[in-house]
Amino acid sequence: MSNLAYNDNMDHMMSDAENFEDGNRGLHYEENLLWEKGHSDTPGVDLPSLKGTKSRTGQSERKNVGLPQVSEPQVMRHFVRLSTKNYSIDSGFFPLGSCTMKHNPRLNEKMARLKGFASIHPMQPTQTVQGALKVMYDLQNWLAELTGLPAVCLTPAAGAHGELAGIMTIRKAHEVQGNTHKDVILVPDSAHGTNPATAVMCGFKTRTISTKETGRVSVEAFKEALYKQDPEGKDVAGMMVTNPNTCGLFERDIQEITDLLHDAGGYFYCDGANFNALVGKIRPGDFGVDVMHINLHKTFSTPHGGGGPGSGPICVAPSLQDYMPSPVVLKEGTAYRLEEEGERETSCGRLRGFQGQFGMHVRALSYMMSHGADGLKQVSEDAVLNANYILSQLKDDYHAPFEGPCMHECLFTDKYQKEYDVTTLDIAKTLIEYGMHPMTVYFPLVVSGAMLVEPTETESKDALDRFISVMKMIAKKARSGDVTELHNYPKSTPRHRLDEVKAAREPKLRWKKGA
Ligand SMILES: *Cc1c(COP(=O)(O)O)cnc(C)c1O
Give the chain's mean pLDDT. 91
Is residue 317 helix, strand or coil? coil
- pTM tops 0.95, yes or no: no
Q: Best mutation site among 155, 190, 192 for ligand 1, i.e. most ligand atoms within 8 A of its Cβ?
A: 192
- Residue 10, C-beta contacts closer than 8 angstroms, at least 6 positions apart: none
| pLDDT above 70: residue 5 | no
Report how far residue 362's alpha carbon sits from residue 290's, in angstroms, rounded to the nearest whole number.
26
**pLDDT of res. 86:** 84
Instruction: State in Å: Cα 135 to ligand 1 middle.
Output: 24
The per-residue pLDDT for range 16-26, each reduced to its tens digit, is 444 444 455 66
Q: Where are the beta strands (DSSP E) in 284-367?
A: 291-294, 314-316, 329-332, 335-338
CB 295 within 8 A of CB 159: yes
Amino acid identity, position 30: E
Report how far residue 419's alpha carbon sits from residue 435's, in angstroms, rounded to the nearest whole number.
26
Instruction: State in Å: Cα 293 to ligand 1 middle.
Output: 9
The per-residue pLDDT for range 461-481, each reduced to its tens digit, is 999 999 999 999 999 999 999
Confidence at 15, pLDDT banded by 50, 70, 90? very low
> What residue ranges do the domains of the chain occupy?
107-370, 373-505
Among 309, 436, 285, 408, smallest CA distance to 362 is for 309
Nearest-10 crossing angle of helices 159-176, 194-201: 40
Nearest protein CA to atom 3 of ligand 1, as residue: 159
Q: Best mutation site among 295, 301, 311 for ligand 1, i.e. most ligand atoms within 8 A of its Cβ?
A: 295
**pLDDT of res. 115:** 96
CB 294 within 8 A of CB 143: yes
Instruction: State in Å: Cα 295 to ligand 1 middle.
Output: 7
The per-residue pLDDT for range 259-296, each reduced to its tens digit, is 999 999 999 999 999 999 999 999 999 999 999 999 99
Among 96, 295, 289, smallest CA distance to 194 is for 295
The per-residue pLDDT for range 41-69, each reduced to its tens digit, is 666 667 777 777 777 777 776 666 677 88
**pLDDT of res. 71:** 84
| pLDDT above 70: residue 148 | yes
Amino acid identity, position 71: S
- Please spell the DSSP secondary structure of 457-486, one letter per residue: TTS-HHHHHHHHHHHHHHHHHHHHT--HHH
Is residue 381 helix, strand or coil? helix
Nearest protein CA to atom 15 of ligand 1, as residue: 98
Report how far residue 35's alpha carbon sits from residue 450's, in angstroms, rounded to the nearest whole number.
41
User: Which residues does a 6 A CB cutoff place in the pocket of ligand 1?
Assistant: 98, 158-160, 192, 194, 242, 246, 271, 273, 295, 310, 312
Among 97, 51, 126, 120, smallest CA distance to 329 is for 126
- Hey, what long-range contacts does 492-495 have (CB within 8 A, 24 or more apart)? 492/433, 493/432, 493/433, 494/22, 494/23, 494/28, 494/30
Q: What is the CA radius of gyration of the chain?
A: 27
Amino acid identity, position 492: S
Which residues share a beta bridge with 399? 413
The CATH number assigned to the domain with range 107-370 reads: 3.40.640.10
Among 214, 292, 220, 205, smallest CA distance to 249 is for 214
The per-residue pLDDT for range 70-95, each reduced to its tens digit, is 888 888 999 999 988 888 999 999 99
| pLDDT above 90: residue 197 | yes
**pLDDT of res. 62:** 67
Determine which helix (DSSP H) or strand (DSSP E) holds 415, and give its type and residue range. Answer: helix 415-418
In the predicted model, what is the mean pLDDT of residues 140-158? 98
CB 201 within 8 A of CB 307: no
- Residue 151, C-beta contacts closer than 8 angstroms, at least 6 positions apart: 144, 315, 316, 317, 318, 320, 321, 324, 328
The per-residue pLDDT for range 374-424, each reduced to its tens digit, is 999 999 999 999 999 999 999 999 999 999 999 999 999 999 999 999 999
Amino acid identity, position 497: R
Q: Which atom from ligand 1 is nearest to the alpha carbon of 191?
A: 13
In the predicted model, what is the mean pLDDT of residues 327-338? 97
Q: Best mutation site among 98, 246, 407 for ligand 1, i.e. most ligand atoms within 8 A of its Cβ?
A: 98
Nearest protein CA to atom 2 of ligand 1, as residue: 273
In the predicted model, what is the mean pLDDT of residues 176-187? 97
- Hey, what long-range contacts does 137-146 have (CB within 8 A, 24 or more apart)? 137/329, 137/330, 137/331, 137/336, 138/365, 139/313, 139/361, 139/364, 139/365, 139/368, 140/313, 140/328, 140/329, 142/365, 142/368, 143/294, 143/313, 143/315, 144/315, 146/279, 146/280, 146/283, 146/368, 146/376
Report how far residue 341's alpha carbon sits from residue 326's, in angstroms, rounded to the nearest whole number.
7
Instruction: State in Å: Cα 123 to ligand 1 middle.
Output: 30
| Topology (CATH) of 373-505 | Aspartate Aminotransferase, domain 1 (3.90.1150)
| pLDDT above 50: residue 3 | no
Instruction: State in Å: Cα 460 to ligand 1 middle.
Output: 25
Instruction: State in Å: Cα 455 to ligand 1 middle.
Output: 17
Instruction: State in Å: Cα 507 to ligand 1 middle.
Output: 25
Terminal-residue alpha carbon distance, the chain: 10
Instruction: State in Å: Cα 273 to ligand 1 middle.
Output: 6
Q: Best mutation site among 194, 298, 300 for ligand 1, i.e. most ligand atoms within 8 A of its Cβ?
A: 194
